[in-house]
Amino acid sequence: MTNNGSIPLRTQVVAIRDQISCDLEGEAVILHLRDGVYYGLNEVAAKVWTLVQEPRTVLEIRDILLNSYDVEPEDCLRDLLSLLQRFNTWNLIELGNGKTSAHS
């Protein structure tokens, strides 16, 4: 399976600090504080958003989703990478190299 130039699977992902979010009956709304832009997330995207509140690798997130939902591994990974790319485009996440954070 190829990654097609998207976020490497061992990359650590974490939500930025300059945001606030809230749960809306399983879905989520995020406000980017610097940009003043709201983003709405469906149930699965909201689950991913909850997971990236702590630094996790793409593989860790994928494994949690596979244990939570009845989905094929290839579909899960493809959709997860697409969602993380959107989060990255919206400047809602920080990407690391998978090493221990210097901020700890």
Which CATH topology does 12-90 take?
Arc Repressor Mutant, subunit A (1.10.10)
User: Does the structure show a pLDDT above 50 at 99?
Assistant: no
User: Residue ranges per domain, the chain?
Assistant: 12-90
In this prediction, what percent of the chain has a pLDDT beyond 90?
Answer: 84
Contacts by residues 2-6 (CB-CB < 8 Å, ≥ 24 positions apart):
3/81, 6/81, 6/82, 6/84, 6/85
Check residue 10 and give its pLDDT: 95
Rounded Cα–Cα distance for residues 67 and 15 (Å): 22
Cα–Cα distance for residue pair 14/27, rounded to 1 Å: 19
Mean pLDDT of 43-54: 96
